[in-house]
Structure 1
Amino acid sequence: MPFDHNDHYHRLLLRKLPRHGRTALDVGCGTGRFARRLASRGYEVDAVDPSAKMIAAAERTGGGPRFRRADAASATLPRARYDVVTCLASLHHMPFRTVTRFRDALAPGGVLLVLGCYAGHTWWDLAAVPANAVARAGAAAGDRLRRSGPPVAGAPVRAPEMSLTAVRAEAARLLPGARVRQLLYWRYLLTYTVT
């Protein structure tokens, strides 16, 4: 698929970064695109992914982050270390309660940013269907004009199991004060700040 729903939200996530942040953890980093964007903003980035294939692809492109194969749901994460923890389209691959491990890895004033996928459909999703078709067509035309090379191998895919309602309820229970905003393209943005 030429249009990447997750990459579409990179700019939104970058606007949510803490102003004076210096350290970041990117969970489920895949090929490292967002981790490299964090590094380009001056962050010292640790990027983890459970897939050896994805970490190998990320390391081939280089660009500053420290890539490591690890499952964030069970790996040891340093406590109170990061100014920002990001998790793009990866949380549904692990138990939702893993957000508490991300919270514990945040330094005081740190921000958790989860771009998540939810199961089921809402009325808002109807707007995503034509928008998705237009975005995919535009991306495909751009790729043809640039005559880009073969696509990079994709990350493992898993359908989300939690509805948006369930995500909101669990976020409220596990991360009091967290905000969950529904986005286009079957995504949500969870933001949480450690006080």
Structure 2
Amino acid sequence: MRMPFDHNDHYHRLLLRQLPPGCRTALDVGCGTGRFARRLAARGIVVDAVDPAAEAVAAARELTARELSTRELTAAAGAGERPRFRQADVTQVELPRGHYDFVSCLASLHHMPFDTVRALRESLAPGGVLVVLGCYPERSRTDWAWSLAAVPVNAAARVAVALAERVRGGRPAGPGAVRAPVAPPRMSYAETRREAAVLLPGCRMRRLLFWRYLLVHRAPDGAGAPGGAGGN
């Protein structure tokens, strides 16, 4: 039986802490069923959310309509509007330049060429932030060490979430059960850091548990000089 613990959802709070002050517009790339897009909209942000999978976009729209009655999205509706979901391959569309205050990619960048970040970077408004919650394969001893550390934590979290769901009566069947297409990541953590340093000057990157990394790039706002990819 598949446990309901989601590695990407686990890091939503971390990603939301990267929002720039006064954030008004956001783009969520590879939005899936729209969970993170809805959390952005709940803060009064106007959100464009794109995904190439028609089934995921349909589920995102349905789930958003269902949840409009909840406190979270009722507040968002009063401050702005629901996320604008669109079926699209971000590598095949022209993004508006200098438009978004925040761009997010949650476990989606490895489904496209890494240099797609160039277009995402150019879509940022001055002072805007691009965040990537990425995946990487185990290639080095450090990679394997982080994987070994994640295994017991992952098992405990899955059991805890499964028990909590059972107490609440389980998750209802519906669009939330849609599974997005899965592809294994190909670029190693080290390769990603090297490419990011070139394409996203001044970015910061660090490992996370659960086979993820966090990459954060802040667009220039007239202050500071670009540097290389930091982190470890």
Q: Does 2:58 align with 1:61?
A: no
Tell me the matched-pair count: 195
Structure 2 counterpart of 1:90, one-letter code: S
What is the TM-score normalised by the length of structure 1?
0.97
Residue 139 of structure 1 aligns with which residue?
A: 161
Q: 1: distance between equivalents of 2:192 and 2:6?
A: 22
Secondary structure of the structure 2 residue equivalent to 1:12: helix
Counterpart among 87, 101, 118 of residue 83 in structure 1: 101
**1:42 deviation in Å?**
1.0
Q: Does 2:28 align with 1:26?
A: yes
Structure 2 counterpart of 1:57, one-letter code: A
Residue 52 of structure 2 aligns with which residue?
A: 50
Q: 2: distance between equivalents of 1:54 and 1:181?
A: 29
Q: 1: distance between equivalents of 2:62 and 2:172?
A: 16
Q: 1: distance between equivalents of 2:56 and 2:178?
A: 8
Structure 2 counterpart of 1:144, one-letter code: R
Secondary structure of the structure 2 residue equivalent to 1:96: coil
Q: Which moved more, 1:56-65 or 1:20-29?
A: 56-65
Give 4+ residue runs of structure 1 displaced > 3 Å after superposition: none
Ranges in structure 1 where 5+ consecutive residues have no aligned partner: none
Q: 2: distance between equivalents of 1:188 and 1:89?
A: 9
Which structure's CA Rg is the greater one?
A: 2
Q: 1: distance between equivalents of 2:7 and 2:59?
A: 20
Ranges in structure 2 where 5+ consecutive residues have no aligned partner: 69-81, 221-232
RMSD, aligned CA: 1.0
Counterpart among 195, 199, 214 of residue 189 in structure 1: 214
Q: Does 2:191 align with 1:173?
A: no
Q: Deviations over 1:50-88 (max 9, x none)?
A: 000000000102250000000111211111110000000
Q: Does 2:172 align with 1:149?
A: yes
Residue 130 of structure 1 aligns with which residue?
A: 152
Q: Deviations over 1:80-117 (max 9, x none)?
A: 11000000000000000000110010000000000000
Structure 1 counterpart of 2:188, one-letter code: S
Structure 2 counterpart of 1:149, one-letter code: P
**1:122 deviation in Å?**
3.1
**1:172 deviation in Å?**
0.5
Among all aligned residue pairs of Structure 1 and Structure 2, give the percentage whose two residues are the same amino acid: 62
Q: 1: distance between equivalents of 2:126 and 2:144?
A: 35
Q: 2: distance between equivalents of 1:163 and 1:122?
A: 12
Residue 103 of structure 1 aligns with which residue?
A: 121
What is the TM-score normalised by the length of structure 2?
0.82
